[in-house]
């Protein structure tokens, strides 16, 4: 079993979910007392969030590239980033290490295609929904990406940063997300990508009537598959 390196802390709520899902996947695949071989580095999200707000992605990329190098020195044989938004700087991370980097949008595209959807709605932070880095990665695989309208983008983003990253889960926010998804379906979405790791704390497959792609779970499964591959 290869050692998985996790760059976490953005937020720690979703990183904890990633760690749990990885170990559950190893347990389910191997049984017995098996758990994942893993090393994790966890950044101070306040520092990263400040760089996001300042639109200083170069500095943020440098921080995460250093974290990836620390994981490689610690024995990581593949690296995953426990956040969707910060894949905006994935190229910086990938170029900083010699071990494979598991891109969350690539494995999500695999899941979408396996599910047979041609068009999906994308929920995430405002950065993920509005910048091209995530959408273009899916579109390169022939997947049509539909993002919420401006008002809905604000709702989705504000709930993430105002509630979910702090571990706050409210029924009213779950209903707001359901309504956002309904409007995406009206515009042609055949499925929805939960393109922020914290969203999975709030909604799941039972909450909407279309296929749901929970990126944290998808990424965890892909990481374990890579770790167990010959």
Neighbours of 174 (CB within 10 A): 14
DSSP state of 84: S
- Residue from 41, 83, 197, 215 carrying the catalytic annotation: 83
Alpha helix (H) ranges present in 164-208? 171-186
For residue 193, what are the contacts with CB-CB under 8 A and spacing of at least 6? 108, 112, 120, 121, 122, 123, 124, 138, 145, 213, 215
Catalytic residue among 125, 128, 196, 215: 196
Q: What is the DSSP letter of 101?
A: E
With a CB cutoff of 8 Å and minimum separation 6, the contacts of 149 are: 183
Structure token digits, residue 116: 């047979």
Alpha-helical regions (H) of 31-167: 45-53, 57-73, 90-96, 104-115, 126-130, 132-139, 150-162
Q: Give yes or no: 196 in active site.
A: yes
Burial environment of residue 204 by CB neighbours within 10 A (0 to 12, 13 to 18, 19 or more): middle
Asked about 82 being catalytic, the answer comes back as no
Q: Which residues are catalytic?
A: 83, 196
């Amino acid at each position: 079993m290869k050692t998985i390196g996790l760059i976490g802390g953005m937020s720690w709520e979703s990183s904890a979910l990633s760690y749990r899902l990885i170990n559950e996947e190893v347990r389910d695949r191997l049984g017995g007392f098996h758990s994942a071989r893993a090393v994790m580095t966890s950044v101070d999200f306040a520092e990263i969030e400040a760089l996001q707000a300042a639109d200083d992605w170069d500095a943020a990329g440098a921080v995460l590239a250093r974290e990836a190098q620390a994981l490689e020195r610690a024995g990581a044989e593949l690296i995953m980033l426990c956040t969707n938004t910060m894949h905006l700087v994935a190229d910086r991370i990938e170029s900083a290490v010699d071990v494979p980097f598991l891109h969350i949008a690539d494995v999500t595209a695999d899941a979408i295609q396996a599910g047979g959807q041609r068009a999906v709605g994308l929920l995430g932070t405002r950065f993920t929904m509005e910048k091209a880095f995530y959408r273009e990665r899916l579109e390169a695989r022939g997947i049509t990406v539909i993002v919420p309208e401006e008002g809905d983008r604000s709702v989705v983003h504000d709930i993430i940063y105002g509630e979910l990253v702090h571990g706050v889960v409210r029924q009213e926010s779950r209903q707001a997300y359901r309504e956002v998804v309904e409007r995406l379906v009206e515009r042609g979405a055949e499925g929805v990508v939960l393109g922020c790791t914290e969203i999975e704390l709030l909604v799941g497959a039972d909450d909407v009537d279309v296929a749901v792609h929970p990126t944290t779970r998808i990424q965890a499964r892909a990481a374990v598959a890579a770790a167990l591959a010959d």
